[in-house]
Structure 1
């Protein structure tokens, strides 16, 4: 025998707005007789890499080829943010092929994330394919931002549904940092989750850092523990090994060119 109202009484708030619905929450909704509730669905994120040099992991590398790591990296980032990720195979450096791929994928996308092809090289296919869109095609703009890594960036909306597109750089660390800084907060906001950003703490830097380019905000990989952060690897945007060992990003402000050991820095916690 259970007393009426001993679990959830009439007038009680059962679930606050913004609550993520897991097994227990769904059980509660069913227990109080709610057949339907209004929710924000997990956004569907289409992820694709660009580059004729890319081949799938598990494929033997020919001269001038590299394995496609970005699409796996960014799809995992999207899932970690709470989204549903759809990874598309690498698209070659051809503007028409890229536009056709985007047209095929946009019907199942709430957001699109691309990597590569946004700088000033001869094969920057994303920039070439999406610059100058008008009307129902959408609009995408490309900028050079005061940050390292991740200087070249693109953002816009595609198609009549104005699906947001994030065009990230091609180096894997640049793509990862750009996702954390720009894409993850956007996806979390689409789901109504608070806070949308990763937590930021102040920590003592265990080792000196520098030189850092003046005028750019630098994001360095680090390991955080007990109020201290230790840099991991160098500043190169290709160093995925160091990224895999990191659980934090050390933020060096735009006007700071070096950080001495023992100084306090802002640290973005990734784990």
Structure 2
């Protein structure tokens, strides 16, 4: 059963109180937004401060949450760790809609399935022929582009651009096209790996 908490103000005390309220019933906590390096990235600031609180014996009082910049697009800023006395898993996702969605598919969904003891924690990738060229993919980052996958034909077509704010394209996608870190462009009709979302 999932519980949704509405938007929380960019205030550290309010965020901390909200998180602590959820620890009573949560098996896992997921936040979205506030994990980068901007002026209002209160999630990162608050959880970093919580991670630095220690008991007299030097052990963390509230658990520890780490923040990383991952070599992926979208979804570069991520946070993960354990908080509260029961060490509840927390995943802090970026706030841009597509970044958040891709991060959920790659990290949150597998974590939930693992906690439930389910098999096939990760969605399997499948090969497909990419009908259109992908002109530019960032060097050194694994890119996850929205795509329309036709399992019967074995093809995938990119949908929309690469921007993490383009949610209309996400609504028309049923798969993610995986472009490896060392690939900067994909010619039309090339084989690619696809992560079906259905």
Q: TM-score range by the shorter chain?
A: over 0.9
Identify the match of residue 103 of structure 1 among 6, 11, 20.
Answer: 20
Aligned length: 188
CA–CA distance in structure 1, aligned partners of residues 182 and 12 of structure 2: 38
Report the counterpart of residue 61 of structure 2 in structure 1: 136
Report the counterpart of residue 156 of structure 1 in structure 2: 81
Q: 1:230-250: per-residue Cα shift (whole Å, max 9, x none)?
A: 000000101111101100000
Q: 1:84-140: per-residue Cα shift (whole Å, max 9, x none)?
A: 210001001111110010011110100000000000101100011010423231111
Q: Which structure is richer in relative contact order (CA contacts within 8 A, separation 6 or more)? A: 2
Q: 1:201-226: per-residue Cα shift (whole Å, max 9, x none)?
A: 00000000020000000000001112
Identify the match of residue 147 of structure 1 among 72, 91, 99.
Answer: 72
Q: TM (normalized to structure 2)?
A: 0.93
CA–CA distance in structure 2, aligned partners of residues 246 and 198 of structure 1: 16
Report the counterpart of residue 180 of structure 2 in structure 1: 253
Which shifted more, 260-269 or 192-201? 192-201
- Residue 87 (1) aligns with residue 14 (2): no
CA-based RMSD of the aligned residues comes to: 0.7
Q: 1:141-195: per-residue Cα shift (whole Å, max 9, x none)?
A: 1000000000000001111100000000000000000011111111111111111
CA–CA distance in structure 2, aligned partners of residues 189 and 183 of structure 1: 10
Structure 2 counterpart SS, 1:93: coil
Q: TM (normalized to structure 1)?
A: 0.68
- Residue 178 (1) aligns with residue 95 (2): no
CA–CA distance in structure 1, aligned partners of residues 141 and 30 of structure 2: 24
Report the counterpart of residue 133 of structure 2 in structure 1: 208
Identify the match of residue 160 of structure 2 among 200, 219, 233.
Answer: 233
CA–CA distance in structure 2, aligned partners of residues 231 and 116 of structure 1: 26
CA–CA distance in structure 2, aligned partners of residues 254 and 119 of structure 1: 21
Identify the match of residue 171 of structure 2 among 244, 258, 268.
Answer: 244
CA–CA distance in structure 1, aligned partners of residues 76 and 125 of structure 2: 22
Structure 1 unmatched runs, 5+: 1-83
Alignment of 1:23-102 (within 5 A): 84-102=1-19
Structure 2 unmatched runs, 5+: 54-59
